[in-house]
Structure 1
Amino acid sequence: MNKFLPAALAGTCLSTCLAAPALAQSSVQIYGIADAGVMWQRGSRVKVISGGADGSRLGFKGSEDLGRGLKAIFNLEARIELDNGTQVPTLVNENQGYYLTRNMGALPAPVLAAVRQALQPPGGPAVNPERALFDRTAMVGMVTPLGAVLLGRMYTPGYEVFAAADTFEVGTGGTWGSITGGTGGFTVLGADIRSQRALQYRIALPSGLGGSVMVAGKGSGYLGLYNKFWGAALTYKARGWDIGIGHNHAYDPAGRPSLRTTTVGGSYAWGQWKFFAGWHDQYDRNASLLPTYIAGWDAQIAPQLAPLGAATATALRTVFVNNITINSRQDAFSVQAGLHYRIGAGRIVASVAHQHDRSSSENDAMLFALGYNYFLSKRTDLYAVASFIRNDNEAQYSPATAGAPGGFTKAPGDDGRAFQLGVRHRF
Structure 2
Amino acid sequence: MKKSLIALAVVAASGAAMAQSSVSVYGIADIWVGKIKGSSAQAASGGVNTSRLGFKGSEDLGGGLNANFQFEEAIDLVNGATQDKTFKRQANVGLSGGFGTVKLGRSWTALDDVFGAANSGFDSALAANAVWQNGYTSAADAQIYYATPSIAGFSAAISTQLNGNVAAGDDKTTSMNLQYANGPIAAAVGYENAGFQKGTMLNGSYDLGAAKLLASYYTTKSDGGAKINSYQIGADIPLGSALTLSVGYASSKTKGDSESDSAFGVAAAYSLSKRTMLYTGFRAEDRKANGPDQDIFAFGVNHKF
TM over 0.5: yes
Partner of 1:384: 280
Q: CA deviation at 1:389?
A: 1.1
Once residues 27 and 147 of structure 2 are traced to their aligned partners in structure 1, the CA distance between those partners, rounded to angstroms, is 24
Tell me if structure 2 keeps the 8 A contact 1:75–1:139: yes
- CA deviation string 1:381-411 (max 9, x = no partner): 1111110110114x12xxxxxxxxxxxx3xx
Deviation at 1:274, TM superposition (A): 1.5
TM-score normalised by structure 2 residue count:
0.88
Give 3-state SS (helix, strand or coil) of 1:416's partner.
coil
Instruction: Measure, in 2, the Cα distance between the counterparts of 1:275 and 1:211.
Output: 23
Report the 3-state secondary structure (helix = DSSP H, G, I; strand = E; otherwise coil) of the residue aligned with 1:169: helix
Q: What is the match of residue 214 of structure 1?
A: 159
Q: Deviations 1:77-100 (Å, cap 9, x if unpaired)?
A: 110000011124xxxxxxxxxxxx
Which residue of 161, 180, 188 corresponds with 2:132? 180
> Alignment partner of 1:341: what SS?
strand
Supply the RMSD in Å over aligned alpha carbons.
2.1
Structure 1 position 67 matched with structure 2 position 12? no
2-structure distance, mates of 1:278, 1:331 = 17
Partner of 1:162: 115
1:262 aligns with 2:200: yes
What amino acid is the match of 2:176?
A: A
> Match of 1:336?
232
Equivalent residue for 1:278?
216
Q: Which has the higher contact order (CA 8 A, sep 6+)?
A: 1
Q: Structure 2: which 5+ residue stretches go unaligned?
A: 1-17
What amino acid is the match of 1:181?
Q
Bigger proportion of residues as strand: 2
Conserved 8 A contact 1:219-1:228:
no
Report how far residue 265 of structure 1 moved.
0.5
Q: CA deviation at 1:141?
A: 0.8
The answer to whether the 8 Å contact 1:219/1:226 transfers is no
Aligned partner of 1:233 in structure 2 is: 177
Instruction: Please give the per-residue CA displacement for 1:298-355, whole angstroms capped at 9, x wherever unaligned.
Output: xxxxxxxxxxxxxxxxxxxxxxxxxxxxxxx742011111111111220101000110
Structure with the bigger percentage of helix: 1
Stretch moving more, 159-168 or 212-221 = 212-221
The Cα of 1:224 is off from its aligned counterpart by 9.8
Who is 1:126 aligned against? none
Preserved contact between residue 133 and residue 230 of structure 2 (Cα < 8 Å): no
Deviation at 1:282, TM superposition (A): 1.2
Partner of 2:40: 45
Matched, 1:416 2:270: no
Secondary structure, in 3 states, of the residue corresponding to 2:132?
coil
Matched, 1:426 2:304: yes
- TM-score normalised by length of structure 1: 0.64
Deviation, 1:225, is: 6.5
Tell me, what secondary structure is at the counterpart of 1:164? coil
- Please give the alpha-carbon distance, in whole angstroms, between the structure 2 residues aligned to 1:280 and 1:193: 14
2:133–2:253 CA contact under 8 A, matched in 1: no
State the one-letter code of the partner of 1:192.
Answer: T
Equivalent residue, structure 1, for 2:143:
198
Tell me, yes or no, if the aligned pair for 2:188 and 2:204 is still in contact at 8 Å. yes
Maintained 8 Å contact 1:217/1:227: no
Identical amino acids, percent of aligned pairs: 31
Structure 1 unaligned residues grouped into runs of 5+: 1-22, 89-130, 183-189, 252-257, 287-328, 397-408, 410-414
How many aligned residue pairs are there?
287
